[in-house]
Amino acid sequence: MSGLLENTSTRAIGADIGRVDGPAKVTGTATYAFEHQLNAPAYLHPIQATVVRGRVREFDTRDAEAVPGVLTVLTHDNAARLADIGDAELAVLQSDEVAHRGQVIGAVLAETPEAARQAVRLVRVHYEERSHDVRFSAARTDLYTPGEAEDDEQGDLAGAMASAPVTVDHTYTTPMEHNNPMEPHSTIAVWEDAGLTLYESTQGVHSVRSTMAELFGLDPERVRVIAPHVGGGFGSKGPLHPPVVLAALAARLLPGRPVKLALTRQQMFDLVGYRSPTIQRVRLAAEPDGRLTGIGIDVTAQTARFKEFLEQAGKPTEVMYAAPNRRITHRLAALDVAPPTWMRAPGECPGMFGPEVAMDELAVACGVDPVELRVRNEPGTEPASGRPFSSRNLVACLREGARRFGWQDRDPEPRRRMEDGWLVGTGVAASTYPTGQMPGSVAAVRFEDGHYHVRIGAADIGTGAWTVLTQIAADALGVPVTAVRLRIGDSSLPSASLAGGSTGTVSWGSTIVAAAQAFRERHGTAPADGAEARAGLPDNPNRERYAMHAFGAQFAEVRVHADTGEVRVPRLLGVFAAGRIVNPRTARSQFIGGMTMGLSMALHEDSVVDPRFGCVVNHDLAEYHIAANADVVDLQAHWIDEADPYVNPLGAKGIGEIGIVGTAAAIVNAAYHATGVRVRELPMTLEHFLA
Amino acid sequence: MESDIILRVNGREWPLRVDTRTTLLDALRERLGVTSPKKGCDHGQCGACTVLLDGRRINGCLVLAVACDGSEVVTAEGLGTDGELHPVQQAFVDHDGFQCGYCTPGQVCSAVGMLEEVAAGWPSAAGRPVADTPVLDDAEIRERMSGNLCRCGAYANIVTAVRAAKEVSR
Ligand code: FES
Ligand code: FES
């Protein structure tokens, strides 16, 4: 598709290059949102609702205002009116209504963080409290079918289940989980005559700019968003959440002065979204040799009563396995909770837990090797749509993974291996993630002082965008990487789509390729100083014709202590088919990072809601456990060479999310092999083995 | 209540008047503009704020600035600079021991402090008898670095980096 990238001059793409922002990050001099040095900042601390539902009758702020250093107390009474943009989550301080516990109902602005925090504790709030309901269950009678996910039925699954010689019909659950990027959501907002400047921890400066401009009724040109480095996001820094709006509202009351707001770790559990819990009934109908005649998944997820979000966990069942009868449904429970949001591989991550454990159960029921079972059910075209795959190398991943992992000698009988008091087993699961592309990016290339200055408002949330976009630009221009000066992370640069849905590198990269081509066409290979060209992301007509997905296979070894039930994962090995790999070093980090988060999901992560109080009670990192260093032992990520001429000019697929997909299922399947105990809920903890 | 203190940070002296509630971490980040130590939890649960205080690794969020009067603080920024990285920092770059970089200055300080602890014969919870001289194998590195969370999941590469740095410093 791109002559520039097909010829042999390609040097940077595929090269094992260290991160260009590496030295800044290891010395801690890379600047994150809260770290921009501005003159005389004020500090903001939110006031959060302590009831689940109701309305605020009255604030008593006298004691708070008496704290030395307090500048103002912000409530719905003195907050500016915002435009109604159809997103109730962002209607911050627009009324006295409380829709979930922990909701922002005000804030204190003070000279120091200590004063702001002390004053918040002294604000007395009188509520009119209403009854609430936060109980998530598939047995609720008020579940509804969301508009964006009508029931999808091919053939007759119930008939297939009734007549199949072998069936699996079980319910699997995944819990509420919180993204918890290491850098808390943070904002510095400065309101001046010229407009609003936001130093923001975000996955997309331009989407923050357009949303904030709309909310505050400003020309987008008067809003500037700056985010050169972002300390992780995993989805929660994709869509906007209330804190950035709150910071801008406060800054408006204090023109000219920077207002700083960093959420505490506890507030992150209330205000910036989470992965919805899911309940998945999975049905498989099969011939005795494991060939599927039917596959179905009925998903129940939760949403906030005041804002809908659907965790589309049924999605991967459209893609994975051949079967003439198929049924995919989603139901939502609307509760008095904060809205869920994207969390790494939304849909696919929870949605490959139930089905991939069910496939393991089918393998056991049929006496077929679980790798072989998946190979037998490989479809020729995308099952739900009938479209051909642009490339699909799941089988190659399974075979390569089996070879590397040493799968061939596996005794399929469970509970056969015991070493030093530990029951040992191995398991496998498949991964998939769609290869998307987001519209709307523009890149500019300018030649100046002997360098090619490439500008696009992309975000590097740890993915390596600073590095891989430099590599892509170098090859697209046919110059060494040292000749490229990249600028990203600022809304004053040409518009860029979000870092989300594993689309960043391919969307921004393809845009840079187009801009480089435009530059060469206009200015040739010996451009004058100041020569410039820009281009937008071209349409890709192949996107209509082909189903585009990355695939992978995950293998796990699990040890369960025979007496204590303690679970360890000494080995995890993933093999992925994700198109062309732009930088093996940063790509490997993406894969192992995803797999590590998958391990964390398998063994630890669980946001526990107390239905009486309507909030997550284990709301810090001491009680909401994420994987620590000692949890990860032998972790390997590999990939196969995959050339996909259709996906985009780079031939690359997104890699930020697929690593988490399937990991938890592989671990749970390995634990079954170790112990003979089938766990169908996450996280998998020692109580499952002590019954 | 406020107190006058002197902090020595990365070799430079800072006379400072602090609210006695101010943590060392906030004093560094919000008062001195030394933002290399990061705030991930403010509760001693993540390690992002790790600095070397008089040579030992500590969580900057768990120490009050007023208690550090006269102390020597070294952050990742004080360990090395671009062009002259500390061997641990260079190893993190070489082995891609990070992604977003937010936990990284803390990981780096923690690794430097940890290598000193091992050299001084301090035991760990990795399972060896406490009286034994510690041998820094991968299991020891993992255990001794487990106070530093990394949500990007770079642990496998962090262990490789620390092992490589230990080899260099030998
Ligand atoms: S910020 Fe100090 S340990 Fe997390
Ligand atoms: S590198 Fe992102 S948290 Fe460790």
Q: Where are the domains of chain A?
A: 22-30+438-539, 33-131+180-271, 152-176+275-436+545-689
CATH class of the region A152-176+275-436+545-689:
alpha beta
Look up A657 and say whether it is catalytic.
Answer: yes
Alpha carbon of B89: minimum distance to chain A alpha carbons (Å): 6
Alpha carbon of A458: minimum distance to chain B alpha carbons (Å): 14
C-beta atoms surrounding A641 within 10 Å: 10
Chosen from B50, B102, B138 to mutate, greatest number of chain A CBs within 10 A: B102
Of A17, A462, A496, A570, the C-alpha closest to A230 is A462
Considering only alpha carbons, which residue of chain B is nearest residue A635? B156
Alpha carbons A265 and B43: distance in angstroms, whole number: 9
Q: Do B163 and B115 share a domain, yes or no?
A: yes
Q: Do B72 and B107 share a domain, yes or no?
A: no
**E strand or H helix at A687, and its extent?**
helix A687-690
Q: Is B96 in the pocket of ligand 2 (CB under 6 A)?
A: no
Ligand 2 mean position, distance from CA B101 (Å): 5
B73 within domain boundaries: yes
Give the number of C-alpha atoms closer than 13 A to the C-alpha of residue A331, restricted to the C-beta side: 17
A259-285 per-position pLDDT tens digit: 999 999 999 999 999 999 999 999 999
DSSP class per residue in chain B: -EEEEEEEETTEEEEEEEETT-BHHHIIIIIS---SS--S-SSSSS-TTEEEETTEEEEGGGSBGGGGTT-EEE-HHHH-BTTB--HHHHHHHHTT--SS-SSHHHHHHHHHHHHHHHHTT---SSSS-TTSPP---HHHHHHHTTTS--TT--HHHHHHHHHHHHHHH-
A534: which 2 tokens? 């820009």
Q: Is A26 in the pocket of ligand 2 (CB under 6 A)?
A: no
Terminal-to-terminal C-alpha distance of chain A? 58
In which order are the strands placed within the sheet that holds A97-98? A97-98, A54-60, A124-129
Q: Do B103 and B46 share a domain, yes or no?
A: no
CB B11 within 8 A of CB B78: yes
**Which residues of A are less than 8 Å from B64 in CB distance?**
none
Alpha carbon of A599: minimum distance to chain B alpha carbons (Å): 10
Q: Is B59 in the pocket of ligand 1 (CB under 6 A)?
A: yes
Q: Is B39 in the pocket of ligand 1 (CB under 6 A)?
A: yes
**Which residues of B are less than 8 Å from A267 in CB distance?**
none
Q: Do B95 and B162 share a domain, yes or no?
A: yes
Ligand 2 mean position, distance from CA A265 (Å): 15
Nearest to A26 among B33, B85, B149 (CB): B85
**What is the Rg, in whole angstroms, of the alpha carbon atoms belonging to chain B?**
16
Considering only alpha carbons, which residue of chain A is nearest residue B23? A114
Q: Do B117 and B48 share a domain, yes or no?
A: no
Residues paired with residue B41 on neighbouring β-strands, in sequence order:
none
**Which residues of A are less than 8 Å from B42 in CB distance?**
264-265
pLDDT of A167: 98
What is the sign of the dihedral through the CA atoms of A201, A202, A203 and A204? negative
Q: Is B41 in the pocket of ligand 1 (CB under 6 A)?
A: yes
Alpha carbons A96 and A106: distance in angstroms, whole number: 10
Q: Answer whether A38 touches B (CB < 8 Å).
A: no
pLDDT of A6: 54
Give the number of C-alpha atoms closer than 13 A to the C-alpha of residue A308, restricted to the C-beta side: 13
Q: Is B57 in the pocket of ligand 1 (CB under 6 A)?
A: no
pLDDT of A9: 56
CATH class of the region A33-131+180-271:
alpha beta
DSSP class per residue in A222-236: GEEEE-S-----TTT
C-beta atoms surrounding A218 within 10 Å: 16
Ligand nearest to the CA of B37: 1
Range of the domain at B52: 2-77
C-alpha distance from residue A328 to each of A136, A142, A348, A430, B111 (Å): 20, 19, 14, 19, 49
Q: Do B91 and B73 share a domain, yes or no?
A: no
Q: Answer whether A600 touches B (CB < 8 Å).
A: yes
Q: Which CATH number fits domain A22-30+438-539: 3.10.300.10, 3.30.365.10, 3.30.420.10, 3.30.930.10?
A: 3.30.365.10
Alpha carbons A185 and A116: distance in angstroms, whole number: 18
CB A607 within 8 A of CB A178: yes
A73-107 per-position pLDDT tens digit: 999 999 999 999 999 999 999 999 999 999 999 99
What domain count does chain B have? 2
Q: Do B18 and B57 share a domain, yes or no?
A: yes
Low-confidence ranges of chain A (pLDDT < 70): 1-10
Instruction: For tokens 């995959």, name the residue.
Output: A642
B121: which residues sit within 8 A by CB, 6+ positions away? B133, B134
A279: which 2 tokens? 């309940």
Alpha carbon of A628: minimum distance to chain B alpha carbons (Å): 5
Ligand 2 mean position, distance from CA B86 (Å): 19
Alpha carbons A330 and A298: distance in angstroms, whole number: 6
**E strand or H helix at A485, and its extent?**
strand A484-487
Active-site residue, selected from the candidate residues A177, A183, A382, A657: A657
Looking at B49, B77, B105, the residue that finishes a domain is B77
Q: Answer whether A568 touches B (CB < 8 Å).
A: no
C-beta atoms surrounding A150 within 10 Å: 11
Alpha carbons A477 and A9: distance in angstroms, whole number: 10
* Contact between B101 and A627 using a beta-carbon 8 Å cutoff: no
Instruction: For tokens 């949303």, name the residue.
Output: A211
B82 within domain boundaries: no
Phi and psi based region of residue A209 (left: phi greater than 0; alpha: psi -120 to 50; beta: remaining): alpha
Q: Which atom of ligand 1 is nearest to the CA of B62?
A: 2
CATH number, domain containing residue B38? 3.10.20.30
Ligand 1 mean position, distance from CA A561 (Å): 32
Alpha-helical segments (H) within A89-203: 113-122, 157-163
What SS3 state is found at A481? Answer: helix
**Which residues of A are less than 8 Å from B156 in CB distance?**
592, 596, 632, 635
Q: Is A370 in the pocket of ligand 2 (CB under 6 A)?
A: no
What SS3 state is found at A374? Answer: helix
Q: Do B73 and B99 share a domain, yes or no?
A: no
Burial A114-136 (b: 16+ CB within 10 A, else e): bbbbbbbebbebebeeeebbbeb
Q: Is B110 in the pocket of ligand 1 (CB under 6 A)?
A: no
- Amino acid sitting at position A103: Q
Alpha carbons A483 and A499: distance in angstroms, whole number: 25
pLDDT at B170 over 70: no
| Residues 156-195, chain A, touching B (beta carbon < 8 A) | 180-184
Q: Do B64 and B131 share a domain, yes or no?
A: no
Ligand 1 mean position, distance from CA B59 (Å): 6
Nearest to A461 among B75, B100, B105 (CB): B100
CATH number, domain containing residue B101? 1.10.150.120
Long-range Cβ contact pairs of B26-29 (< 8 A, separation 24 or more): B26/A113, B26/A114, B26/B65, B27/B65, B27/B68, B28/B60, B28/B73, B28/B75, B29/A34, B29/A35
pLDDT, greater one: B127 or A546: A546
C-beta atoms surrounding A39 within 10 Å: 8
Q: Is B102 in the pocket of ligand 2 (CB under 6 A)?
A: yes
Of B79, B86, B75, B66, the C-alpha closest to B6 is B66
Alpha carbons B16 and B1: distance in angstroms, whole number: 14
B152 within domain boundaries: yes
Considering only alpha carbons, which residue of chain B is nearest residue A268? B41
Q: Is A232 in the pocket of ligand 2 (CB under 6 A)?
A: yes
* Contact between A28 and B75 using a beta-carbon 8 Å cutoff: yes
Alpha carbons B38 and B29: distance in angstroms, whole number: 8
Ligand nearest to the CA of A182: 2
Query: In this structure, what DSSP letter does residue A547 have?
Result: B
CB A516 within 8 A of CB A475: no
Q: Do B47 and B104 share a domain, yes or no?
A: no
Alpha carbons A31 and A180: distance in angstroms, whole number: 19
Burial B101-139 (b: 16+ CB within 10 A, else e): bbbbbbbbbbbbbbbeebeeeeebebebeeeeebebeeb
Pocket test for ligand 2, best of B39, B49, B152 (most atoms within 8 A of CB): B152
Pocket test for ligand 1, best of B61, B102, B110 (most atoms within 8 A of CB): B61
Backbone angles phi, psi at A584, to 5 degrees: -60, -30
pLDDT of A3: 46
C-alpha distance from residue A196 to each of A226, A250, A444, A495 (Å): 11, 12, 24, 18
- Hey, what's the torsion of the CAs at B72, B77, B80, B82, to 10 degrees? -160
Q: Answer whether A111 touches B (CB < 8 Å).
A: no
C-beta atoms surrounding A25 within 10 Å: 28
Ligand 2 mean position, distance from CA A421 (Å): 35
Alpha carbons B132 and B120: distance in angstroms, whole number: 12
**What is the Rg, in whole angstroms, of the alpha carbon atoms belonging to chain A?**
26
Strands A532-536 and A567-577: unpaired
* Contact between B85 and A184 using a beta-carbon 8 Å cutoff: no
**A:B CB pairs within 8 Å:** 193
C-beta atoms surrounding A646 within 10 Å: 19
A453: which 2 tokens? 């200055």
**Which residues of A are less than 8 Å from B157 in CB distance?**
589, 592
Q: Do B163 and B93 share a domain, yes or no?
A: yes
Say how far residue B141 (Cα) sits from the centre of its chain: 14
Q: Do B96 and B159 share a domain, yes or no?
A: yes
Phi and psi based region of residue B54 (left: phi greater than 0; alpha: psi -120 to 50; beta: remaining): left
Q: Is B28 in the pocket of ligand 1 (CB under 6 A)?
A: no
Of A194, A239, A246, A250, the C-alpha closest to A221 is A194
pLDDT of A1: 41
Alpha carbon of A164: minimum distance to chain B alpha carbons (Å): 42
C-alpha distance from residue A168 to each of A17, A172, A266, A286, A290 (Å): 47, 12, 40, 9, 11
In this prediction the ipTM stands at 0.98
CB A663 within 8 A of CB A601: yes
Nearest to A182 among B48, B77, B143 (CB): B48
Ligand 1 mean position, distance from CA B110 (Å): 12
pLDDT at B132 over 90: no
